[in-house]
Amino acid sequence: MRAGFAPKDIIFTPNGVSISEIIEAAELGVRINIDNLGILEQFASRFGDSYPVCIRLNPHINAGGNSKISVGHIDSKFGISIHQTRHLERLVKSLGVKVEGLHMHTGSDILDVEVFLRGAELLLDVARDFDSLRYIDFGSGFKVAYKPDDISTDVEELGEKMTAMFDAFCKEYGSDLQLEFEPGKFLVSESGYFLCEVNATKTTTATVFAQVNSGLNHLIRPMFYDAYHHITNVSNPNGKPRVYTVVGYICETDTFASDRLIAEIHEGDILAFHNAGAYCFTMSNNYNSRLRPAEVLVKNKEHFLITKREELDDLLKNCIDLEANITAP
């Protein structure tokens, strides 16, 4: 909202937060997406039918990549099970809840368009039981290319098939609903690069390490999701490729890449991690009291500082000086 977006254009999709936080969001006027029957009851007891909601469903489809980034399976904490729709319908009717939207998100790195479409069909089947819908949100998870020879989701094929499916549904439903997607990572992942400096190279009996001035505090995806980030030595792009294991400076096993072919690395070289436009800075932290780096926007060959580099005072600003605040009895 501070960035200028209208509340009606924002959908709040929390998981496991307190009802007070959801109420606060509702009081701001944003769209509310509920993924828990108990929370739905609490919300209805506060707002009744005066505040339309969206319902997030779990279609029990593993449409994404590895288990760490798949959220549509049967053991996922996200969404109301597709098998609970009868219970959902009874609650909606009994509590007088107005449902204006349905939502799903099955996970990231979707390759098989047909699997995504099966989830969409399930969501449309449920939609037939709600007569006041304004929109259906099919989430996202579209895959981008992480490696030079990698593949990505065929969004053109998906678009053609989804258009035909959704148009046919709207004709049957009797209303032109709004079709929504959330392709955040697909849009921004490849637009960001993370740059760090090589502090040292270290050869052991088994491995050649490139030790950089960063760690899981800045880019946690490789450790958290087993994510692959292509690495380019921008200081020596045409150097002879050698095998390196790139590691950070945190007192944990913060390995960015193992046994990776990278142009020969020397101390002081700058390494660029690709696909850092999503879930890089937003997941960074101050573990080991390390500071976060600056963010720079490059537009039309000009660069603009958009987030300044942290300083020690940024870490200490919320610490309480007990000596100054405790007075003698």
How does pLDDT run across 111-143, given as a tens digit for each residue?
778 888 988 999 999 999 999 999 999 998 888
Would you say residue 65 has pLDDT above 80?
Answer: no
Query: Whats the size of the chain, residue-wise?
Result: 329
Mean pLDDT of 186-199: 96
Beta-bridge partner residues of 246: 210, 257
Answer yes or no: are the C-beta atoms of 270 and 196 closer than 8 Å: yes
110: confidence class by pLDDT, cuts 50, 70, 90: confident
- The residue type found at 83 is H
Q: Write the DSSP symbol of residue 316.
A: H
What is the predicted pLDDT for the residue at 329? Answer: 58
Judged by average pLDDT, the poorest of 25-34, 194-203, 319-328 is 319-328
3-class secondary-structure state, position 265: coil
Answer yes or no: are the C-beta atoms of 294 and 232 closer than 8 Å: no
3-class secondary-structure state, position 88: helix
Handedness of CA 260, 263, 264, 267 (dihedral sign): negative
- Active-site residue identified among 54, 196, 251, 280: 251
Q: Which two tokens stand for residue 109?
A: 């790195």
Domains of the chain: 7-187 (3.20.20.10), 192-311 (2.40.37.10)
251 classed as catalytic: yes
Judged by average pLDDT, the poorest of 18-32, 81-95, 112-126 is 112-126
Cα–Cα distance, 53 to 191 (Å, whole number): 33
What is the predicted pLDDT for the residue at 326? Answer: 66
Would you say residue 67 has pLDDT above 60?
Answer: no
Closest to 245 (Cα-Cα) out of 149, 65, 236, 254: 254
Mean pLDDT of 293-298: 97
What is the predicted pLDDT for the residue at 201? Answer: 98
Would you say residue 320 has pLDDT above 90?
Answer: no
φ and ψ of 43, to 5 deg: -65, -45
Closest to 133 (Cα-Cα) out of 70, 177, 78: 177
**Which range has the top average pLDDT, 72-86, 130-144, 188-202?**
188-202
Does the model's pTM come out above 0.85? yes
